[in-house]
Structure 1
Amino acid sequence: MRRITRVSMVGILILVFINIFSMMAFADDTSKAGDPGGTKIGTSYDITAKESGKPTQQEVYDQVGRNKLGINYVWVLLTGCLIFFFQAGFAMVETGFCRAKNAMHTMSMNFMVFLVGAVGYFMVGFALQFGGVGSWTSLGTGTTTLSHEIAIGGLGLFGTKGFFLTTGGTYDVGVYALFFFQMVFMDTTCTIPTGGLAERVKYSAVVVSSFFVSMIYYPLFGNWLWGGGWLSQLGVKAGLGHGALDFAGSSVVHGMGGMMALAGAIIIGPRIGKFRKDGTAVAFPGHHIPMAVIGTIILFFGWFAFNAGSTMNGTDFRIAIVATNTMIAGAIGGLAAMFYMWFRYGKPDPSMTCNGALAGLVAITAPCAYVSGISAFIIGLIAGILVCVSVKVVENKFKIDDPVGAVSVHGVNGIWGIVALGLFADGTYGAGTNGVSGGVIGLFFGGGFGQLGAQLIDVITLIIWGFGTSYLFFKILDKTIGIRVSREAELQGLDLPEMGMLAYPDFALKPDNIDIQTSIEEALATNSK
């Protein structure tokens, strides 16, 4: 009874706080109202409804402008919905690559991170990332309310408008559309580390880490590239091309997720029995590779929206090149990985074929708008081979247990994608980006070291901020609430101890068989010491 009373009191206090904050936020907005009804975008005049006479020239202009913005809004919202379906893809890939006794836990993590991420980004993350972006012209003038960036020496660090999507006049259709699209990008970063920590991480630790990602870790780095921050200013401030560029998130989304997966995997340690006494790795086959294949297909499908949607402009015809480059790089990435494994180990490993396709997609995500089809082919080809090599190095050389290959797919190939942009950008797109005239030109097309230099600074920042900050975070979390489950829970499987239910109750092990399985795994653990 006392526990229920305490929980109730905490809930009441939280509701009171939110209510007070909301009243303060709306009170702040009265003098700088946004456009929640969308009535200030063009005009509400409908040409087809005019019953007599002809519309004036101004009325025609107003309607054309409104229609153009309407196309952009539909494009942004539709692609945002498709990107949300990434959650299903990641859940199936990670669960398929893990063992059956952890299936419910892995699936639940992949859904939960969206719930936590959406709330954290709504409260704090969005404002830090885009609160000082100034405007997003494809979504109308309402986004000019995102007008305050904290800067040092003229270099942007984080925004301050848009907490709870109300402060500073941000109750506006354009701001809400921007939030909707960017939130599903952030949530991909939340999801990636769950694969690297799977089968031994506490559910509660993932809840806390998802708040960290959505409120601080991702938004600050995202601001530096996409919110008008200092990495995007390297062009106008330091003469390095167009500043650091990442069209759809090789570093902002995937690299950050990969760095966090790496830091977490190092701190949490390998699964029981993963490495023998001599240091060689023991294979833990995934329980449902067909599920992982379906998840990969879902991710591939969603990636067309992920990359092409990043134009945030339905009237930008470059979306055709972006989508096609995405398809080419993903396809050759999967094919390259398949043939590499086939020639090296004698079989076309389906799991690595999936990771090869994903690696190609991750690598093309940054340069997809700035390169041609042949460049996309080369970038994906290298990514497909790179992921195969990286998985073996991470496991056998560094003794890091990454059950789904998150570090290699997202971290290593996120870095490769950023570098590839600085090498292969051909100058046919990107004029005016980050305030720099002319198209984006990489080293191989006569652009010199400028753009590549900006990209390398992005990579260095990604490693320092992405890996360094998440390593420190996990260290603190491990010393406080702990990030790893008990030995008994890990051996039994996390479904019952952590979630209270089994993914496959009809196939649950009987007590005698559980004892046998536990004995085998304990023997493996003993041999690994």
Structure 2
Amino acid sequence: MTIETLRTGIDTVWVVLTAAMILLMEGGFALLEAGFVRTKNSVNIIMKVFADITIGTLCYFIIGFALMYGSDFFGLIGTNGFFLNGDLSHLDVTISLDTFWLFQAAFVIAVISIVSGAIAERVNFRAYLLFVLLMTALIYPIAGHWIWGGGWLSTLGFQDFAGSAVIHALGGCAALAAAMIIGPRKGKFSTDGTSVIALPSNLPLASVGAFLLWFGWFGFNAGSTLAATDARIGHIAIVTMLSAAAGGAAALLYTLFRYGRSDAPSVINGSLAGLVAITAGCAFVSDRAAILIGAVAGLLMIAATNWLEARKIDDPVGAFPVHAVSGIWGTVAVGLFAAEGGLLNGGGWGLLGIQVLGLLVLCVWGFCMTWFSIKLINRFVPVRATDEEEEVGLDISYHGIMATHTSPEFVEVKESFFEWEKVKDDY
């Protein structure tokens, strides 16, 4: 056995393990979102996550990966690699093509799961399945090609190590578009425009989901080295930890002194905001910069949440504040704090300008393509659940079962359930 063969084997094991860690994040998404929504919609959350994994994986295998990593066509799109066939020797990786695809497939599933949370409790399940297809086969892969597939933004020097922009900013802006089109949940805003608090069903469950996401993020960031022998792994791991801690601490302290209590949902999302923000620059910034990046992300997340509420945009899990706003900040932070090329490290304005340009393109692409996709889907399948389905709960409406039959919400809907059984086939 040669040294090169041994290195390839070790790198393969590393990438497969980190891909599995990222896939475990889907369990985190499921628990986080199920804990934030009402009990009568918990099963629907789980089913949407399974749709992300099943349909999203197949769409990415058949179409998406080729558009993202196929041979470049004028910096815009990949042209080969459908069904993972064809010559993909231009990919500069030391691992096998199968291993590389597995890691990238884990990423694409995370993108669509971001949108899922923003439209929880009121989206038609059939319409959501169609959107999963479009996001995983077209919207995300094309944008990904511009940065990670050898496209025009990568040629300009845009830096996004593990996806603050490609995954989180794009996914978060897509989530904003979806939430705006579908509209708020029934009763979310009163007639005078004030927000009505929809109490989370299970915050301990949501916190476990956040911890699973935190765990998986080490695979997300450190795994993006694609090599177990990369000396940067330890540094990537520590800045990931520091940024997440700073984001959660900033949210905890702000809510404690601002409202006299530390708000649990804000602290959960503050930690996630720190994770999102450091993802772009985890291989490029220092430990101290990571703390600042995370802390600012935690505060920006709270500000963005208030911004949504003021504009009567309903985002039950905070997908836009956590992913889009923190992803935008984290990508800009690369242009400020990167050890090589960062403005505050003597690198001038060049990298920062490229980062801002790339962000504008990705955010507009994610928002507009989602807007167009949902409008298109709505011509064939209503994207909004009916008033009756929303009132009874999407669990019973679309899946015929509730997460638990002992919750107060079940007591409220059990009588209407039998009436619903008589007419649900009409929907």
Q: TM-score, normalised by structure 1?
A: 0.76
What does residue 100 of structure 2 align with? 178
Structure 1 residue 480: Cα displacement: 2.5
Give the whole-Å Cα distance in 1 for the aligned partners of 2:173 and 2:291. Answer: 26
* Distance verdict in 2 for CA 1:173–1:361, change over 3 Å: closer
* Distance verdict in 2 for CA 1:228–1:169, change over 3 Å: closer
Amino acid at match of 1:86: M
Give the whole-Å Cα distance in 2 for the aligned partners of 1:324 and 1:402. Answer: 31
What does residue 172 of structure 2 align with? 258
Which of 327, 335, 343 lines up with 1:422 in the alignment? 335
Structure 1 residue 509: Cα displacement: 3.1
What does residue 477 of structure 1 align with? 377
* Distance verdict in 2 for CA 1:514–1:284, change over 3 Å: farther
Amino acid at match of 2:384: R
1:110-509 to structure 2, matched below 5 A, reads 110-132=49-71, 149-151=72-74, 156-168=75-87, 174-234=96-156, 243-396=157-310, 398-427=311-340, 441-507=341-407, 509=410
* Distance verdict in 2 for CA 1:168–1:346, change over 3 Å: same
Give the whole-Å Cα distance in 2 for the aligned partners of 1:102 and 1:415. Answer: 30
Do 2:11 and 2:95's aligned partners in 1 also have CA atoms closer than 8 Å?
no
Higher relative contact order (CA 8 A, sep 6+): 2
Give the whole-Å Cα distance in 2 for the aligned partners of 1:331 and 1:69. Answer: 34
Amino acid at match of 1:484: R
Give the whole-Å Cα distance in 1 for the aligned partners of 2:294 and 2:339. Answer: 17
Answer with 121-130 or 161-170: which moved more: 161-170
- Secondary structure of the equivalent of 2:284? coil
Q: What is the Cα-based RMSD across aligned positions, in Å?
A: 1.5
Do 1:91 and 1:111's aligned partners in 2 also have CA atoms closer than 8 Å?
no
What does residue 7 of structure 1 align with? none
What does residue 146 of structure 1 align with? none
CA deviation profile, 1:403-437 (whole Å, cap 9, x unmatched)? 0000000011111111000000012xxxxxxxxxx
Q: Which runs of 4+ in 1 moved over 6 A?
A: none
Do 1:363 and 1:380's aligned partners in 2 also have CA atoms closer than 8 Å?
yes
CA deviation profile, 1:323-342 (whole Å, cap 9, x unmatched)? 10000000010010011111
Structure 1 residue 505: Cα displacement: 2.6
Which of 77, 100, 109 lines up with 2:48 in the alignment? 109
Structure 1 residue 169: Cα displacement: 6.8
CA deviation profile, 1:334-361 (whole Å, cap 9, x unmatched)? 0100111111112111111000000000
Structure 1 residue 506: Cα displacement: 4.0
Structure 1 residue 511: Cα displacement: 6.9
Give the whole-Å Cα distance in 2 for the aligned partners of 1:168 and 1:330. Answer: 40
* Distance verdict in 2 for CA 1:345–1:514, change over 3 Å: farther
1:94-105 to structure 2, matched below 5 A, reads 94-105=33-44
Answer with 258-267 or 478-487: which moved more: 478-487
Amino acid at match of 1:185: F
Give the whole-Å Cα distance in 1 for the aligned partners of 2:383 and 2:210. Answer: 28
Unaligned runs of 5+ in 2: 417-427
Give the whole-Å Cα distance in 2 for the aligned partners of 1:509 and 1:348. Answer: 30
Do 1:114 and 1:190's aligned partners in 2 also have CA atoms closer than 8 Å?
no
Give the whole-Å Cα distance in 2 for the aligned partners of 1:197 and 1:395. Answer: 15
Give the whole-Å Cα distance in 1 for the aligned partners of 2:411 and 2:285. Answer: 57
Provide the aligned length of Structure 1 versus Structure 2.
Answer: 411
Give the whole-Å Cα distance in 2 for the aligned partners of 1:289 and 1:502. Answer: 18
Structure 1 residue 501: Cα displacement: 1.1
Do 2:273 and 2:326's aligned partners in 1 also have CA atoms closer than 8 Å?
yes
CA deviation profile, 1:379-415 (whole Å, cap 9, x unmatched)? 001001110111011112x210000000000011111
Do 2:236 and 2:282's aligned partners in 1 also have CA atoms closer than 8 Å?
yes
Q: TM-score, normalised by structure 2?
A: 0.94
